[in-house]
Every structure is written in C-alpha cells, then in structure tokens.
Chains A and B, each alone.
Chain A
C-alpha cells in the first residue's frame, strides 16, 4: 500500500470520533454549567468557557504529540513512568484535598490531577516492559513484575482516597490477557467477582454451601483417571475463606458511603423507610440522574431546554454526571449516539492495535482501549444506575482540564504510534 506523506498518515476515523465526542461534550457542558446569558464562550468565570480554553489547548497538545518522533514514547516510557510515580508521591506532601481525595496540585489558581496522566505513563510502561525481548509473560516472575508496574500507581492513588480511579487500573488485566497470561487467571478473576457478589447478595453461609455442592458434584461426576480428593477440598477451603473475607471486608474495611452504594446496588436493604432515606441522601444523584435521563424521552427536550439540567437538579452534572444532560436534552437518539460513538471508537482502537507490527504499539493500543472502556463502562453504567456509584469522568466529555488532556495524550500517542506503523519492520 502506497501512502504519500508520512505525517498525514493518522487514522482519520479515530480522529473524527474524538472530535465528535469532545465537541458534543462541550455542548453539554455549556448547557449544564450555564447560568444566565452567555457573554463569551471563552468566559473564564464559567466552566464552559474554561473547557473551551482546555479544548483549544488540547489541539495544540495533539499537534505536539504528533510532531514528536514515534520512537520517543517507547524509548522514554520508563522515564515518563518514573516521573509520573514521583508526581503521585509528591501529592502526599504538596497535594490539595478536594472532596476528600488528595489528588490535585494547586498551582496559582489552577489545579492539576497527576492521576489522569499516570494512566498514560502506566500504559507506556506496561507496553515497554511486556514488549521487552527479555520479558516472558508466561513466566510467573515477569507476570509479577508487570503487575507491579500497575499496582504501584494504583496503590498510590488508593492511598489518596480516590478509589474510583484506582479501579481503572484493573483494566490492564485485559492487556495482560491479550499478551498471554494463562486462561486460569481469567477464570479465577471472573469466579471471584461472582463469588464476591454472591457473598454480599445471598450472604456467606448459602454461598459457601453452594460452593461445596458444586465443587464436589463436579469432582464425582467428571471422568478423570486420577482423582485426588485433596483438590476439591482445597478449592472449597479457598473459596469459603474468600467469601468470609469479602464479607469482613464489606463490613469492616469499606467506608460507610461505599457500603451504602453497594447495598443499594445489590438491593441489600429491604426496609422501605431506610430505602427511601437512601434515595434522598447518597442516592439522590442517582435518582435525579435517572429521572433526568428518563424525562428526555425519544428525542429529548432540546439543547439548553432540559428543565432538570437548567435547574441543576443533578449535582456534578458537568463532570461525572454529564451523561444525564445528554439523556435529558438529546433523548434516546442523542444518548444512543454517544454510546454508539464510544463503542465504535473502542472497536477501532482495538482493531488498530491488532494491526500493529510492533509489540510495544500493540500493547499500548490495548491499554488505551482498556482504560477508555473502563471509564466508559463505569461512568455511563453509574449514571444510568446499572452499577454502584463510582466517581470517574466520562472520557472527552466530562468537564476538567487534566482529564481531557490525560485522555487526549493517551489516545494521540497511540494514533502517533499507529501512524508510524508502516515504518516498523
């Protein structure tokens, strides 16, 4: 395939999808953050004005990223990762506390959230390590080291009390799996998630008994030459311990608000009076955002016509709950469009990642897709009441400079790597 000039070889589809999301996101931020008349779209006293400036700056950032030699990212991945970790550690000393999380640096009125950039650094570092010729992902030691790359920033962020962002690092499991970690990991993780939910929903004893029955039935009915009774016993013991552990974790380690969120999600609370109280207090956001989305109907109330958006009924509507504005003002058609755009973008990134000849690019591309997917799934799932409340932004959509830049850098490094694909032999 003959392409003319190298620098123009960006994936246009990805670029267009990115622009659609950022543009439509801003339109909704405008609607959600407006109060009174618009004097200027760049009014720095208003969030939509700030976001407009962020977006302009983003475009500069994109040009910068694309201008840098593709090899730079691979070569300096370790350094970037190291700097990123240092910036996270620095938060413990210089960090600014916002909403209970110490995730921001305050620099002359501006705040920067290094966690948003740490995702990029981690993705680069993971790609660099896995693609290293000396690394064998099938080897347990290397698996452990790879995991450590992810766990360090995740742990730092968790210590800063930003549990939502920590969860996002779980997305790297998809990367590891793609690169060849054993299938048993996948099965174990899925099994443990199932067990955890079951332990909370149906309580410890019934879950444990079910495990016992299933494991032993499996043992006796399977036709195998060498049966050892010790295997099912160990599995059962391990599972039961896990189930009890989950329960203890839920009751004693999780903070009250986290407990409540899970309790509401799994419908653990049966007392209608308490449920009602939950809906009015911590589930207020959820209730209002569901209402706002629902009131949009098929075609929505129209741009800037959402009565709930205008009345600011949904707190955090321009950040984490921005999708409720989409739902109210653009209806099913608009919100379905956003969902479909995200799905196409994610599939496109995955497709491009598979096309990479360089393993670094492929692993990084996978990381990008996985991180964006986690954000997409958790954020929209939360706003629509499908999963417990976990406060993370919707990529490209939510208000916030750090988030927007973090996601943009994340995506465009991959676009740059992809554009360099033809030169990779």
Chain B
C-alpha cells in the first residue's frame, strides 16, 4: 500500500494530463485555418475586376476604386474618437453602432467598419490612419457602368453575405461578389484571384516578417475581360420601345444561339446598384410591386404562349404524318367536338383552311384538328400525349434551357402521366385537353423559350442553347454553347410552316407590320391573363405576344416579344418585333409610324386595374390610351387626392 501511493499519483496525473490535452487539442480545437490565426496578419490585394464589352466591342462595365475602413475589434486601442469621427464624417452614435456591429461579427476577424469612402475622405484619412490601431483601409474596386441599359443582364456586385462566405472560403467579410446577371454567372472569371500576403506578427502585434518566407502568399491575378453577346444598341432600342409597358424582348442569333438583346421592362439604371446607395436603391426598387423592376420579365415570366405555339402543333402533326400540306378543314367560326358538341371559338374569319392559311390566319379550328389527330393516332391518349409532348419538348420547352444566366423558369409541357394524374377516374382524350392545341391550357413558356423555338424554326430544326457569353479574354466559352440541339421534327416539315409564318406578314394577322425590303416570318399571339390578387382569381386584359425571325432565308435574328396586358399580338408585341428586326438588320427605322405609335401609347392604366377597386373593362380596343392622356389623368387624380 505504501509503495502504491506515488505510483498511483503518477498514473493519475498522467491520465488527467492526457484528458486535458485531448480536451484542448482535439475536442475544442477550432478550424485550423491560417485565415483564423490571429498570429498571422493577412493583407489583401484585390485585383481589377474584368471589364465587360458588348458584341461590337463597346465598353459597358468598367471599375472605380473604392476604399473601405476595416476594423479588427480586438486590436483597437483607445483612440481620439472625436477626430476619427470627423475624419470619417460620422457622429459618435454611428461610430458606436458600426463598432458594435463589427464586434458582434467577430473580435478577431476584420470586417468593414465604414464602406465606400469618397476619394477626398480617403486622401485625408490615409495619412492619419496609423494613429488608429485596429483600423485600416482596404482598397477594393467597384463597378463603373458606362451605360444605363441592360441592368438585368449586367447584374451587380455586392458584399458577400454569410451564406456565400460559408459556402466558399475564398470570400471574407466585406468581399464583393457577383449577385445577378453576368456578374454572377462569370464571377470566377471576372473577379480574378485576390492576392494575399501572410505576415507573422508577434505578441505586441508588430510585423516580424513574412510568414514562411512568403511561400504561401498568393499573387493577385487580374479578372478576365469578357465580351457578351448583347448588341447594346439593339438592347437600348428595345428598352426605349418598351417604355410605359411591362414585358420582355428576347432576340437571338439563330445561327449561334447568342442573345442579341434581353430586355426586361421596366428596368433600372445599373448605376443605382453601386456603392453606398445600393442598398437604399435596392429597397426602393423592390418596393414597386406593380412593375417589379428587379424581376427579369424575359427569363422569369411564365405565360401561355398563345398562337405562336400553333407552329409547333403543326410541326408535330406533320412529323406524325397525320396531316399533309393539303389536308383541309372547314372553319365554321369555331371547332365543334365531342358528343356534347362542345365548341372552341375561332376569330380567323371562317372558311376552308389548309396548313398555310391556318397559320397565316391563326385558325383555331385547324390546329385543334391537327392536334386531335396527333393524339388520336395512338391507341390511347396517354401514349399519344407522350409522343406529342416529346416533340414539343425537343424545342427546349418544359425545362430549363441551360443558358448562362442564373435565373429561369421551367415552363410547363404536360405529358400523358400529367393528365393521368389530373383525371385519375376519367378517360380523358385529346378533346379533354384541346386548349393545348392553341397554346393555352396547361402550356406555359417564358419569353426566352419562345425566342428559342423561333430560332429552332428559323434554323429548320435545330438550335443552340441561348447564351450571353461571347468571349472570355484568355479563356474559352463553355463548349455546351457550341453544341447543336436537334428537334425531333424532320427538316423537310419546316419549309411549309415557315411559308405560313411568312404569309402571316404577307397577308395574315401581321400584314400591317411589314418592313420594306425584309422578308420577315412571324406569328401573333394572344395569351389569356388570369391573376390571383388577395385570393380572388380574375381575368385581366390579354398579353400581347409575338414571335418573328428574319430574313426568311439565312435568318439573322429570331425574336420573341411579350407585352403584358397588351391585348392581341399585333397590337403591341408585333409592332415592337418588327421595329427591332428592322433596327437590327438595317440600323435605322423606316416604319416611323409604328415607332411613333408604340412610343405614344401606354399600358400603365392596365397595370393599375388589379389594384384599383373601380370596375374595369378588359380586352377592349377602346381602352387604348395615349401617354399624354395618361399623364393628364394622373395629374387630375393627384389634384383630387390632394384636395378631397
């Protein structure tokens, strides 16, 4: 027993020490990153962010220097707050607020104290900065937009949030990251690689030399300049035409899939998203719940395609061999079907219709018939629907297109299973879901998908994934944008359909929109528009839709236009499409009458209808309003509001 006392003490102390070591080194050891090690000072050097040029080499986005005052709270020593505040042009309450915020984030890690100093303030401050221990100035580069257009495409950069910092350890508190548009899609190429110098500190916080002789230091690599496919002049013209209207324009180059313009109206000036004013401006823009300027209408608005979809219905029917060029139907101002003699109306004027006139006059009855025959070709509707659906989907509908902007919608193209689920106890057939034939019912597309099917038709059966990137300096663009996607429709079936689309302009629904000297093929569309506001679903004025491509041979541009609440297709969207095509192909406008009409008319009065308690009419030609009239009305309204 006496022998064992010291013996057991030794073993006991050994075990206690091992347990303590385990607790300190294994259990409570935090992530051992050099970035978290406060014995190492990190000096960051942010390289130039890549410039952005349009397809014609016009500089759209450049940089401007910006200076942030950063703070590492644990290193802050008592300072002359009064002097510091006056240098930063803040008051003491703000000082305490910012300091508290930084301390709340971390006492060890640096975080922005005051962002985006002006150059003058920076000049004053940089000389005195040594006096304020724990504070330092970090130079960054902010965007300097050389243009006021294309905000939805260009996107913006802003400070990385906690989630982004957690997801990617490249980013530290206060770093800027692409949040939208190309800034987000090509963040890695544009940002380059920030330089880091690791400096060993001693316990008095003095630098005692570079850490590991600088072997871990990272040399900054400048961001790569990129060229985007946007034609900034066409984009500007599109945004100009879309004033006082909500909607989107997507123009593609069919031979490459390049996006020539991607208009979302209304938009905003990209310069609003720069610097200290960004968050205030952002909040203001996000509050506009009618126009939703932050929502990209070309990429995010799902709607029924309306009549342009008939071209695909015709192509599917031709491919399935259920119609030929001469198969005809007699349109009795509608299409009667089923045992109960139900009827789908038609506004084409009636009479005998073949494929060509069916398209050019947009005859509902003709396409109802073609669609029904396609589905009915198969033993049951489920299989028929699947075949039809896969033809339609081969045009890139019903799923994400795969373009290089980070937002999008799938749209909807139903298949057999979709309706089996809808009608579990019911033998549904082609006529049950007949609305699909005319681009209504369960069909949903986005404007860019519409533009893509236009390009596929223009190419006679294939398309390239639409994309915004044209060139990355010193790099290649993703190969997926060089891959041809074939539709499931044979090439020979396209010519008659294209002829029909040509005749839309020639003598059909768009005959008043002809552009002298250019053979345009197009199709008008009108999509019914239901909105649920505060739980009640109501119908509002139809969306005006138009697709077109030109020239007929060797097409250079394919375009889709959506004008919300614009009523029938040729009323707004058709005019805009024609003007865009002319502007792109000729560089000038000969149809100034169309241009003037578009600029003079507003749809603002339509957009406030859902939010006003007053009764309103929809789909009425009489509801057309000129901009000056609207402004006068607004003025009167204001006077009434102010003097009740």
Contacts and interface: CB of A to CB of B under 8 A. Distances in A.
Interface of A: 174, 177-178, 180, 186, 288, 290, 293-298, 301, 305, 307-308, 310-315, 327, 331-332, 335-336, 339-340, 342-343, 346-347, 350, 354, 366, 369-370, 373, 376-377, 380-381, 384, 386
Given A174-B6, A354-B3, A294 B11 contact: no
A315 B21 CA distance: 20
Interface of B: 2-3, 5-7, 9-11, 13-14, 16-18, 20-22, 24-26, 28-30, 32, 34, 37, 39-40, 200-203, 208, 211-212
B214 to A, nearest CB: 14
A310 B11 CA distance: 33
B25 A339 contact: no
Nearest to B205: A311
7 closest pairs, A vs B, by CB? Answer: A343-B14, A307-B39, A332-B25, A313-B203, A311-B39, A294-B24, A174-B6
Contacts of A336: 18, 21
Contacts of A174: 5-6, 9
B28 A294 contact: yes
A310 B200 contact: yes
B202 A312 contact: yes
Given A174-B6, A297-B25, A327-B21, 20 more contacts: A177-B5, A178-B5, A293-B24, A294-B29, A296-B29, A297-B29, A297-B32, A298-B26, A301-B32, A310-B200, A327-B24, A347-B10, A350-B6, A350-B7, A373-B13, A380-B17, A384-B17, A384-B21, A386-B16, A386-B20
Contacts of B11: 343, 347
Contacts of B201: 311
B503 to A, nearest CB: 76
Contact of A366 (B6, B13, B22, B203): B6
B211 to A, nearest CB: 7
A384 B37 CA distance: 20
A174 B40 CA distance: 46
Contacts of A335: 21, 25
14 contacts: A178-B5, A186-B5, A293-B24, A311-B39, A313-B39, A327-B21, A327-B24, A332-B26, A339-B17, A343-B11, A343-B14, A373-B9, A373-B13, A376-B13
Nearest to A344: B14
A311 B203 contact: yes
A279 B13 CA distance: 26
B25 A340 contact: no
Given A311-B202, A343-B11, A369 B6 contact: yes
Contacts of B22: 332
Contacts of A186: 5
Contacts of B40: 307
Given A307-B200, A307-B211, A312-B202, A350 B29 contact: no
Contacts of B16: 386
Contacts of A310: 39, 200, 208
A290 B6 contact: no
A178 B3 CA distance: 6
B3 A290 contact: no
Given A293-B21, A307-B211, A312-B203, A370 B6 contact: yes
A314 B14 CA distance: 24
A197 B211 CA distance: 45
Contacts of B2: 177-178, 180
Contacts of A332: 21-22, 25-26
A373 B11 CA distance: 11
A53 to B, nearest CB: 27
A417 B358 CA distance: 117
B18 A339 contact: yes
Contact of B26 (A297, A369, A377, A386): A297
